[in-house]
Structure formats: C-alpha cells, structure tokens
C-alpha cells in the first residue's frame, strides 16, 4: 500500500484570524488613553467619597429650617484701657495767679503725674432758655441759697472756681458741709447733673466764664477773646449761660486781658443785667473794668478779696483763710476764691467747723451782694 504522506499540522492561529490594532502601536494615542483612565478613576473615587458623607454639607430637609452657619470668630482686637470712674476727665484747668503773687504751681508741690496732653473737650451743649424770674424777681435772688443775715457777725463767702472738669475732686468739694458757692466751667461734662447734686447738698451755684488771660494759658473752649467782634462775644456768652441753670451769677475764669478792656466787658455785663444775674469779679488783674462798670450800671456785683490756694499746700491755704478772717473783721465781710485742689479740700474741711466758733458766719456770695452791692 502506498504510504500516506503525513499531514502537516495546521497552525493554531489559522483557526483564529489575527486581529490587528494598528492604532495601539501609536504611542501618542496610548498616552491619551492613559490620561483618560486616570481622570475617570479619580472622578469615580470622588463620587464614592461624596456619597459617604465626608466634609460636604448636608442637604436641607424640606420643612426644617437649616441652622445658621457659624460665623468665624473675629481676630482679637487691641482694647484701649478705659479710665476708671475716679480718674480725672481731662487736664486740670489752669487758673491765673493773684496779681503780684508767685505762680500757682509751687516748686515744692507733692509729686504729681506729668501734665496730660490737652484733652479734646466736648463742645458746649445747646443753650437752655434764659431764666425767667417770676413776678419781676431777678434770677440771682430767685436762685440764691436761703441765708439769714447776721448783722452782728462778720460774714465770709468761700467761692470755689473751676468746678466740674475734675469730677472726682469736684464731688469731694461739693460733699463738704455748706454753704459754699461753687462756680462751674461751662464745658464740663454732665454739668446740669453735677450742679443739681451740689445744690441739693446746700451749695450756691455760679457760672465760671472763660476769658482770655494776659499770660500764656488756655482758658478752654468758647472763651471770650479780645480778637472777637461784638456779635461773636454775645454768641459765646449766650452759649455759656445756656450750659446749665440755677446759678446766681457769673465770675471770670482767667480773663486778666479781657476784663481790662472796658469796651468788651460792657456787652458781657449788659447781658448779665438783662438776665437778672450778678457779677463777681475774680480780680485776676488790678486793671479789671468789671467792678466800675457794674457799679455804673447799678447791677448786683461783688469782688474777690483773697485767693486761697496759689500755694497748694494745706498750711498755705490755712494761712490764707486766716487772712480772710482779718479782712472780714475789718470790713464786715470777705470773699475768698479757691479751687478743688486736694490741699484746699483738706484745709476747708478742718477750718469751716472752727471758724464759726470764732464768731464768723459762713454765707453764700449772694448774701454779701444783698447786704452790700445789690444794685439799683
């Protein structure tokens, strides 16, 4: 038998035709496919993470209000130190010394803090209506502290200037047993309240009107200056007179230059006379025209005899109080002016109870005016 020639084995690849991907051999296309796969994988993972809660905010439920989002806490701000109630409100008012006397600040005064920077002082409040005295009674008599005239005893009136700005010391002064006459600066804070409390404690009230000095010192806002015209002077006088109510009259704060000018003082005293107020000349200069003008106008007036505290020590103030007694014995009365200094408060607290035992009577300044210079 003829031998069959063996069959050649078929190639397995013949059963499955070869599939050729010519594009796979392109390297740029392969890179693009890889990038697409990476993005797809990342997107899928993020979807899975979002559905599991994570940090995404919950969706609001219908009908239930969502709680308000908490606001981030603001960064801590630097806080300014607030003044304590016992601290002074501002720089202590400078007062002119008595003519011919040493400066008011003594070289041996107790240690005090360095003078503060000049404070920003509030503007004067809107004017109050002028006081209308009933039945023709002038305001100085209507607002006067009741007092019994003592014709057999010399009378002493103690006037305290610069009240209201240093509230701590002003309150201490007003807490002393009266009667004192307290003269208030028109630019003090809460002036009406301070003055009302002092009046309730048995003290008489005055307005301390700032005027230009001849020395280098700042009398404060709204002061009467020699450079002002008559209209501005009248406006400032009206503003100061409207700062509070219940006072008997006006005396000058500083003013050695302004009070020496007769033409400028005339409209000031004219306004006081129109309102029924008395004038107390502080006599910060021997050339003041205020006393002569008031006498000519036949209006109520008085003048200072003694300054108490140019030297701000207790022994010096007590020595000036003894001089006040001498003047009172000589002319029947005396008017002394001091300020709310610590030394003055301490000296008055010890002197007032004893002086009455020595045969003097303490009176408000209106009592001196009634007895000696009531005007026409």
| Residue 105 maps to a domain | no
| Residue 204 maps to a domain | yes
| pLDDT value of residue 6 | 52
Label residue 39 by pLDDT band (50, 70, 90). low
| Residue 91 maps to a domain | no
Distance of alpha carbon 333 from alpha carbon 280, whole angstroms: 15
Between the alpha carbon of residue 348 and those of residues 105, 108, 342, 352, the distances in Å are: 19, 21, 10, 6
| Residue 184 maps to a domain | yes
Structure tokens at 141: 């008599």
What are the DSSP E strand ranges found in the chain? 155-163, 181-184, 204-211, 249-254, 278-281, 301-303, 306-307, 333-338, 361-362
| Residue 263 maps to a domain | yes
The predicted-structure confidence for 143-177, as pLDDT tens digits, reads as follows 999 987 667 899 999 999 999 999 999 999 999 99
* Mean pLDDT over each residue of the chain, to the nearest integer: 78
Residue that the structure tokens 């300044």 belong to: 365
* 143 and 364 Cβ atoms separated by less than 8 Å: no
Q: What is the CATH number of the domain that holds 261?
A: 3.20.20.370
More confident residue, 2 or 164: 164
Distance of alpha carbon 275 from alpha carbon 138, whole angstroms: 8
Of 255, 188, 262, 157, nearest in space to 215 by CA: 255
| Residue 73 maps to a domain | no
Taking 90 as the threshold, does the pLDDT of residue 278 lie above it?
yes
Structure tokens at 150: 């003592």
| pLDDT value of residue 115 | 43
Structure tokens at 72: 């981030």
| Residue 307 maps to a domain | yes
| Residue 269 maps to a domain | yes
The predicted-structure confidence for 218-244, as pLDDT tens digits, reads as follows 999 999 999 999 999 999 999 999 999
DSSP code, position 36: H
| pLDDT value of residue 47 | 54
Label residue 122 by pLDDT band (50, 70, 90). very low
Burial class (CB in 10 A: 0-12, 13-18, 19+), 162: buried
| pLDDT value of residue 148 | 76
Label residue 27 by pLDDT band (50, 70, 90). low
Of 249, 345, 239, nearest in space to 303 by CA: 249
Task: State the total domains in the chain.
Answer: 1
Percent of the chain with pLDDT over 90: 61
| pLDDT value of residue 370 | 95
Distance of alpha carbon 318 from alpha carbon 162, whole angstroms: 20
Domain range for 143 is 139-372
Which residues have CB under 8 Å from 116's CB, separation 6+? 90, 91
Label residue 40 by pLDDT band (50, 70, 90). low
Taking 90 as the threshold, does the pLDDT of residue 37 lie above it?
no
Taking 60 as the threshold, does the pLDDT of residue 63 lie above it?
no
Of 17-21, 33-37, 157-161, which one has max mean pLDDT? 157-161
Distance of alpha carbon 348 from alpha carbon 157, whole angstroms: 12
- CB neighbourhood size of 356 (10 A): 13
Mean pLDDT of 185-214: 97
Which residues have CB under 8 Å from 371's CB, separation 6+? 149, 155, 333
- CB neighbourhood size of 224 (10 A): 27
| pLDDT value of residue 338 | 98
């Amino acid at each position: 038998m003829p031998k069959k020639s063996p069959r050649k084995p078929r190639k397995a690849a013949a059963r499955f035709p070869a599939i050729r991907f010519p594009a796979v051999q392109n390297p740029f296309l392969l890179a693009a496919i890889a990038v697409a796969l990476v993005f797809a994988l990342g997107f899928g993972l993020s979807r899975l993470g979002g559905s599991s809660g994570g940090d995404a905010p919950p969706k609001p439920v219908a009908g239930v209000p969502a709680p308000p989002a908490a606001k981030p806490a603001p960064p801590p701000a630097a806080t300014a130190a607030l003044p304590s109630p016992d601290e002074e409100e501002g720089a202590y008012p400078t007062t002119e010394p008595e003519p011919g006397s040493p400066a008011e600040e003594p070289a041996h005064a107790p240690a005090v803090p360095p003078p503060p920077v000049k404070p920003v002082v509030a503007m004067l409040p809107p004017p109050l209506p002028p006081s209308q005295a009933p039945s023709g009674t002038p305001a100085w008599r209507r607002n006067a502290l009741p007092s019994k005239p003592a014709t057999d005893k010399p009378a002493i009136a103690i006037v305290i200037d610069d009240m209201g700005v240093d509230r701590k010391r002003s309150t201490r002064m007003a807490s002393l047993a009266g009667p004192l006459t307290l003269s208030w600066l028109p630019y003090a804070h809460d002036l009406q309240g301070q003055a009302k409390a002092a009046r309730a404690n048995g003290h008489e009230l005055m307005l301390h009107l700032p005027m230009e000095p001849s020395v280098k010192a700042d009398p404060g806002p709204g002061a009467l200056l020699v450079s002002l015209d008559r209209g501005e002077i009248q406006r400032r006088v009206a503003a100061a007179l409207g700062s509070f109510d219940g006072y008997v009259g006006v005396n000058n704060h500083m003013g050695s230059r302004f009070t020496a000018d007769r033409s400028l003082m005339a409209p000031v005293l004219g306004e006081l006379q129109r309102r029924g107020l008395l004038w107390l000349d502080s006599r910060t200069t021997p050339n003041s025209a205020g006393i002569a003008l008031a006498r000519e106008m036949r209006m109520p007036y008085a003048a200072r005899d003694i300054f108490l505290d140019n030297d701000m020590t207790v022994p010096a103030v007590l020595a000036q109080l003894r001089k006040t007694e001498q003047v009172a014995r000589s002319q029947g009365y005396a008017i002394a002016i001091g300020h709310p200094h610590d030394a003055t408060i301490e000296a008055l607290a010890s002197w007032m109870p004893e002086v009455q035992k020595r045969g003097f009577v303490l009176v408000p300044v209106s009592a001196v005016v009634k007895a000696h210079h009531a005007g026409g």
